[in-house]
Amino acid sequence: EWEFEMQQITTTTAEWQALDREHHLHPFTDPKVLGEQGVRVFTHADGCYIWDSEGNKILDTMAGLWCVNVGYGRQELVDAASKQMETLPYYNTFFSSSTPTQIQLARRLSEVTPAGLDYIFFANSGSEANDTIIRLVRHFWELQDQPSKNVFIGRTLGYHGSTLAATSLGGMAPMHAMGQSLLPGFEHIMEPHWYRHGQGKTAEEFGLEAARALETKILELGAENVAAFIGEPVQGAGGVIDPPSTYWPEIQRICRKYDILLIADEVICGFGRTGHWFGSDTYGIEPDLMPMAKGLSSGYLPIAAVAMNKRVSDVVNGGGVISHGYTYSGHPVACAVALANIDIIEREGLVEKVREETGPYFRQALQQLADAHPIVGELRGVGLIAGLQLVRDKANREFFPAEEQPAIQCREHCIEENLILRAVGHTMVACPPLTISRAEIDEMIEKTKAALDKTAAAYGLL
Ligand code: PMP
């Protein structure tokens, strides 16, 4: 232990970078570019701040990867994990077994999820939760003698994970392209991105039109061949696309009309992010199945869950053996941490705080920034998730050409300011811990403005 600590103290950033370059392949990264730049090494964190190996204190307005909802440095979560590790570090959920934290968490989730979603399957990541859903939903239709109902409809720029099946469910073209990853049986419709696709229409008109793309697709495929529609209440990794108010009610109507199951992917939107427990609460969606992860444990340990309603659970419960599961489904330590995490969210009133206090403050400050800034076309999002769309010509709603990378430049300028925002396409994304204070929001705005100014200046817009 001593030796490890010494190594942490004495290893220089350059040494970490050399080791990382030699031994570590990074997700969603160009290894060649990273090798040239050198990786940034983060060493510790507290609240909304993280520190790098150079000693810089950085405001993490991405909450890790959209997940550290209760903020860093929560001793309560450490204690919950260590207590559970001492008592029972592991036992599985296969073959008629369960452990107390698994059972308690399943019940707790049935309380916080929208009414009717009372039955839980555990996994370890959002990707695994979505793979589980694909298998369960096809099983559900097979058990009802409708095996042809097996096609899933997702959306362009939807993100549902990185396993083969979750990649297919999502609508990210570069992911489909790498390794021939688009499986048969997965279709995609347009994303409800009004600012990009809805010119000349009101947001409400466009919302209906985008939702009706689902009806068109169902009719094209034949409803007898469609298993389910999946969507994130607010598309996160696609660039924070919050749909017009007319979108979800119309999607819900279409799913009911054609007897298509509705899946709301709450991996980012869950656990208070949008100002309610779930994005489905915010948008009035009544899904049949709901994958969740990230905020479930605030990222302190990997855990995910699938909640399903009685219609689904009644069928699968009568259908024989569930030939599916993960060694770590319902890992007892991860469940203990998730329970303690939900306790914190409740005790500190974080959901209400996002809805009534920090969410409105965050939006108002960002809206002012967006309105006044020549490189920002619009602010998107809800609650504590936001996207700033960078544009070439604000007055004429003209986007940057695909080969330009203003957001990547802006992200680098944010880092110079000791601020983490994410660049997605031509959008700057913020998704801070739900514990962020007004003063920290002010700091974020000031630093974001400085980074936007530098980016705009480089394009001759300022
Ligand atoms: N669904 C959504 C909406 C996500 O945003 C993500 C991850 N960003 C996933 C699923 C996949 O989760 P994981 O990375 O834990 O597999």
The 3-state DSSP class for residue 161 equals coil
* Global model pTM greater than 0.90: yes
3-state secondary structure of 262: strand
CA 341 / ligand 1 centre spacing (Å): 19
What pLDDT, on the 0 to 100 scale, is given for residue 290? 98
ipTM of the complex: 0.99
Write the burial class of residue 45 (CB in 10 Å: 0-12 exposed, 13-18 middle, 19+ buried): middle
Q: Which residues line ligand 1 (CB under 6 A)?
A: 125-127, 130, 159-161, 232, 236-237, 265, 267-268, 293
CA–centroid distance, 104 to ligand 1, in Å, is 24
Nearest CA to ligand 1 atom 1: 160
Instruction: Confirm if 158 and 167 have CB atoms less than 8 A apart.
Output: no
Q: What is the DSSP string of 207-221?
A: HHHHHHHHHHHHHHH
Give the per-residue pLDDT at 3. 62
Topology of domain 40-70+349-458, CATH = Aspartate Aminotransferase, domain 1 (3.90.1150)
* Closest of 213, 66, 159, 177 to residue 425, by C-alpha: 159
Work out the angle at residue 272's Cα, subtended by the Cα atoms of residues 236 and 136, and round it to the nearest 5 degrees: 65
Give pLDDT, residue 10. 72
| 76-347 belongs to CATH 3.40.640.10 | yes
Please give the chain's pLDDT, 462 residues, in tens: 556 665 666 789 999 999 999 999 999 999 999 999 999 999 999 999 999 999 999 999 999 999 999 999 999 999 999 999 999 999 999 999 999 999 999 999 999 999 999 999 999 999 999 999 999 999 999 999 999 999 999 999 999 999 999 999 999 999 999 999 999 999 999 999 999 999 999 999 999 999 999 999 999 999 999 999 999 999 999 999 999 999 999 999 999 999 999 999 999 999 999 999 999 999 999 999 999 999 999 999 999 999 999 999 999 999 999 999 999 999 999 999 999 999 999 999 999 999 999 999 999 999 999 999 999 999 999 999 999 999 999 999 999 999 999 999 999 999 999 999 999 999 999 999 999 999 999 999 999 999 999 999 999 999
CA–CA dist 263, 287 (Å, integer): 5
Report how far ligand 1's centroid is from the alpha carbon of 42 (Å): 22
DSSP assignment string, 387-450: EEEEEEETTTTEEPPTT--HHHHHHHHHHHTTEE-EEETTEEEE---TT--HHHHHHHHHHHHH
- Distance CA(177)–CA(173), nearest Å, equals 6
Give me the residue spans of the domains in the chain. Answer: 40-70+349-458, 76-347
Alpha carbon of 161 to ligand 1 centroid (Å): 5
**Residue in this structure with the two tokens 């909802």, named with its chain if needed:** 69
pLDDT at residue 105, rounded to an integer: 98
Chain-centre distance for alpha carbon 314: 29
Q: What is the pLDDT of residue 8?
A: 60
And the tokens for 2?
Answer: 């001593």
- Which SS3 state, helix, strand or coil, does residue 331 take? coil
Contact 429, 62 (CB under 8 A): yes
Return the best residue to mutate from 242, 268, 289 for the ligand 1 pocket (most ligand atoms within 8 A of CB). 268
